[in-house]
């Protein structure tokens, strides 16, 4: 059976690599190597030095930005074998990924940008949605290895996956902020946020923010740290690059990016993205309850 490798065992990568290890011989590497050793103990994967991941037929990466992916690729470059597939689950930058794809092709390695949606819960359950950019042959070759996915969509050429991911997360940001504005106003009117959401979620204003994020995290005041605010701001910046490249009209998305930049300055990049609503609550003088 072909080996696979997974590089980057963060909040998403750790459970994603766990699903791979249940089905394939899986090599794992992480910058903090102790985490790779913990993964090995928990899932039966094999923690290896970086150079050894080149033994795998399919190499997965899930790192903070495309910059880190490119740095790892350069370190691995002399060891990579022709016929290898590189599946990048990072929420990366389309143009930089296209350059990386060209570089890897010099070694006969096919690069596919394959960011995911579904959050840490989806990663743990193995129900993520994968949006893939790259050649059709490569997409079909790696499809059987995507053990962490429930849905895989080939969205276009290299870079398209990252572009779709960035726009998707920009829409998440819009929905979350807009719902927060409306709910702060309703609470100040004396309406229970829980009752307001009961109506909204049976009506046309519903979204993932109103159906899941706000009830589970804001009303409860739990605010679990699953997706850092700083990473959402990064994705909003990537979305701006997509919009700029196409000269697309985007006043709402641009304003949304600025609002989350303000939230990041107020709360810090390590705060969870849903905590951005705390800024709205402070401005409005009311908690969403």
Residues in the chain, overall count: 289
165 catalytic residue (yes or no): yes
User: What mean pLDDT comes out for the span 212-237?
Assistant: 96
Query: What is the tens place of the pLDDT at every residue in 124-168?
Result: 999 999 999 999 999 999 999 999 999 999 999 999 999 999 999
User: What mean pLDDT comes out for the span 181-200?
Assistant: 98
- E strands present in 62-175: 85-88, 110-113, 116-117, 128-133, 149-156
Q: How is residue 92 written in tokens?
A: 């990366």
Sign of CA dihedral 90, 84, 24, 32: negative
- What phi, psi does 163 have (nearest 5°)? -65, -45
Of 3, 35, 150, 165, which residue is the catalytic one?
165
pLDDT band at 193 (very low <50, low <70, confident <90, very high): very high
pLDDT band at 245 (very low <50, low <70, confident <90, very high): confident
Name every residue whose Cβ is closer than 8 Å to that of residue 237 and which is 6 or more positions away in sequence: 257
Q: How is residue 102 written in tokens?
A: 């060209």
Query: What is the tens place of the pLDDT at every residue in 31-63?
Result: 999 999 999 999 999 999 999 999 999 999 999
In the predicted model, is pLDDT for residue 246 greater than 90?
no
pTM above 0.85, yes or no: yes
């Amino acid at each position: 059976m072909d080996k696979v490798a997974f590089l980057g065992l963060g909040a998403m990568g750790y459970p994603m690599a766990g699903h791979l290890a249940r089905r394939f011989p899986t090599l794992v590497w992480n910058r903090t190597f102790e985490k790779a050793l913990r993964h090995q103990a928990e899932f039966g994967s094999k923690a290896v030095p970086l150079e050894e991941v080149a033994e795998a037929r399919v190499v997965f990466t899930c790192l903070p930005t495309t910059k880190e992916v490119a740095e790892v690729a350069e370190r691995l470059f002399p060891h990579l074998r022709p016929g290898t597939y590189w599946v990048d689950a990072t929420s990366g930058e389309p143009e930089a990924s296209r350059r990386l794809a060209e570089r890897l092709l010099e070694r006969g390695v096919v690069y596919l940008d394959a960011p995911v949606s579904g959050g840490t819960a989806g990663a743990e359950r193995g129900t993520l949605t994968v949006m893939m950019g790259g050649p059709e042959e490569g997409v079909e070759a790696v499809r059987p290895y995507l053990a962490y996915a429930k849905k895989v969509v080939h969205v276009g050429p290299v870079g398209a996956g990252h572009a779709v991911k960035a726009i998707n997360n920009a829409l998440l940001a819009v929905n979350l902020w807009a719902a927060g504005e409306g709910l702060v106003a309703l609470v100040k009117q004396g309406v229970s946020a829980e009752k307001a959401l009961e109506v909204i979620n049976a009506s046309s204003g519903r979204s993932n923010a109103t159906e899941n994020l706000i009830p589970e995290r804001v009303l409860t005041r739990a605010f679990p740290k699953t997706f850092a605010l700083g990473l959402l701001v990064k994705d909003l910046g990537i979305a701006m690059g997509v919009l700029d490249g196409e000269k697309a009209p985007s006043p709402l998305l641009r304003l949304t990016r600025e609002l989350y930049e303000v939230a990041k300055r107020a709360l810090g990049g390590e705060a969870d993205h849903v905590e951005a609503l705390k800024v709205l609550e402070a401005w409005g003088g009311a908690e969403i309850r």
